[in-house]
Structure 1
């Protein structure tokens, strides 16, 4: 018998929490690094979810400036710190974020259930350093046209965040049904029912439809806010999602049709003694009952 050690797939990879410890990251930092494509993951064939290969951890740990270089790339800031990085008042920073100049990478709900948007510090520094943005960043007042857009209530932060999160989900998808689920995650059930009228196919699609990345208990106010942020509400955004979902569903159906229950039922096997024998006729219940009543009447009337 050989004395060689058998290495299992789980010994060649780490669960996300263990990978975070190995890399000196908080679990949220690791999730963000995966989201950004900085850390590659593989499907966990044993229990679902994702895992990080040991070789990937070793690659990151051998990088120049580790771990500070990795921590800098996943550092996030809120509005106040982001405004300081870009050397502007917080109010101007918020207006520029609403206009889409800076794009949030994640969000959370504070104790008042208000949405707090977070931005990559590295990206904010890049935007501030780009000379093309100088007139907008340093102007004493927001240009008239942009002020009119803001006055109309435009806020691109939710849509821009959805775009980033959609890209993350699609990168993690390994087959057409998973890609379809990633796209369906941003459409409300009414839109999905219109695109996928077949109930069995829609049920199969929903198996691959992820929920919001942060939410409270089902039905809670926090869960409702998370669902609203996750759901596309701009007509152009909805139109693009519907077109993409329709195309990916066509691909998914060709590769692996959605399962559905069988409608035919096999006949019960005949008893060997009855094979080839004529099937006796069953008496009609009404005729049998009348015969019984007649016989009973005759017996009762007899002397």
Structure 2
């Protein structure tokens, strides 16, 4: 909501939009009246960074003779065709006088064809037309010196507008940094960085740098045209702006230096002395000794083996062969025949098949191990009775 309702310390000021309604002006005419100095404004102390109008200033403008017609005549602008009709001269002669810098535009805009349209104050055109020193420019042949400049392609409308707009900005600026920012608005960032080396001072200039009129979306044709018009092009103009910017920055630096962040103290880094790397343990690089999980029976073992011991040896012998391939030979291993049972056929021993080429013997297909009960049946066959006749 409006700050007028919540800030009792400024009851005698109002916003520019509210002041324009009270004076019966359109917003463009009101802004032009502020630029020309017809209406005075004060900075907004509420922290918004804008401008406000005092109630006493509104009453002063209202009390002028012929209000509001007199104020509207002072801020009225016309184009090329209307200005030529006002001065009673052809439109071509009006354009030539404007390019020569004799008629200074006050503002501009881009039409739908993206062409720059210059606007002039009607009051200034009337004064130029009624002046006796300008009678030879309105009628008759244009002087030879001016025709030579027109043939060279001179066009001073943008430069004259920049000089006029700079004067308006300097008149409204409050403080040395605001004046320096107004001058920096007509230079390229490269020129500003060449003059102002300190990045904190450049940031301060950007805070007070006004936006060009007609500025739109970044990268749009309107913005590009506004940048072309508001940037100095001539060498003498650029040199004067650079010298003026250096003078204003030096003055602002002496009056109000730019605040800088406090320097941070970095503690020294404590480095520890390098320590030698301890040697690696011998078990890391040593060769592991081959061990046998199940000892093989020797030939001198006395007595026959028990059935459970023989079954355990038969079940674990293939695993021992796979764990100790180096201890085996390439010759096939043949087990001694077992006594055949009367009821079940004998089990063929598992043999290692020797490969055709060079290499170790590969184990052949193995039969699945049988249980203890089947083994006992083969060792102790059933007793059969006498055969029946």
Alignment of 1:43 onto 2:40:
no
Deviation at 1:286, TM superposition (A): 4.4
Q: Contact 1:204/1:259 (CA < 8 Å) preserved in 2? A: no
**Which residue in the other structure is 2:170 paired with?**
170
Question: How far apart, CA to CA, are the structure 1 residues paired with 2:271 and 2:266?
Answer: 23
User: Does 1 or 2 have the higher relative contact order (CA < 8 Å, sep 6+)?
Assistant: 1
Partner of 1:52, secondary structure, is strand
Listed as ranges, the matches of 1:286-297 within 5 Å are 286-287=275-276, 290-291=277-278, 297=281
Spell out the pairing of 1:209-288 with structure 2 (5 A cutoff).
209-265=209-265, 284=273, 286-287=275-276
Give the greater-gyration-radius structure (CA).
2
State the distance in 2 between where 1:224 and 1:259 align.
34
**Normalization by structure 1: what TM-score?**
0.86
Shift of 1:203: 2.0
Q: Are residue 34 (structure 1) and residue 34 (structure 2) matched?
A: yes
Measure how far apart 1:200 and its partner are: 2.2
- The equivalences for 1:75-90 within 5 A come to 75-90=76-91
What is the CA distance between 1:197 and its match in structure 2? 1.8
Q: Which has the higher helix share?
A: 1
Change (3 A) 1:282 1:144: closer
Rounded Cα–Cα distance in structure 2 between residues aligned with 1:63 and 1:109: 35
Residue 98 (1) aligns with residue 91 (2): no
**Contact 1:74–1:120 under 8 Å retained in 2:** yes
Q: Cα distance, 1:216 vs. partner?
A: 1.7
Change (3 A) 1:283 1:257: closer
Q: Is the 8 A contact 1:79 1:93 kept in 2?
A: yes
Displacement, 1:205? 1.4
CA distance in 1, matches of 2:272, 2:38: 79
What residue is the counterpart of 1:52 in the other structure? 53
Alignment of 1:57-68 (within 5 A): 57-68=58-69
Q: Distance in 2 between matches of 1:128 and 1:9?
A: 49
User: Aligned partners of 1:44 and 1:63: how far apart in 2?
Assistant: 26
For 2:267 and 2:13, the matched residues in 1 are separated by 51
What is the number of residues matched between the two proteins? 278
| 2:385 aligned residue | none
Helix, strand or coil at the partner of 2:178: helix
Q: 1:283 to 1:37 in 2, by over 3 A?
A: closer
Q: Deviations over 1:1-49 (max 9, x none)?
A: xxxxx98344211111111101100000010001001110100111111
Kindly state the Cα deviation for residue 282 of structure 1 after the two structures are TM-superposed: 7.6
Superposition TM-score, scaled by structure 2 size: 0.68
Would you say 1:154 and 2:130 are equivalent positions?
no
Structure 2, unpaired ranges of 5+: 1-5, 287-389
TM-aligned CA deviation for residue 266 of structure 1: 6.8
**Following TM superposition, by how much is the alpha carbon of 1:112 offset from its aligned partner in structure 2, in angstroms?**
1.0
Partners of 1:158 and 1:118 lie apart in 2 by 12
CA RMSD of superposed structures (Å): 2.0
Deviations 1:128-151 (A, max 9, x none): 010010011112x32221111011
* Displacement after TM superposition at 1:199 (Å): 2.0
Structure 1 residue ranges, 4+ long, deviating more than 4 angstroms after superposition: 281-286, 298-301
Once the two structures are TM-superposed, the CA of residue 152 in structure 1 deviates from its matched residue by: 0.8
Change (3 A) 1:9 1:51: farther
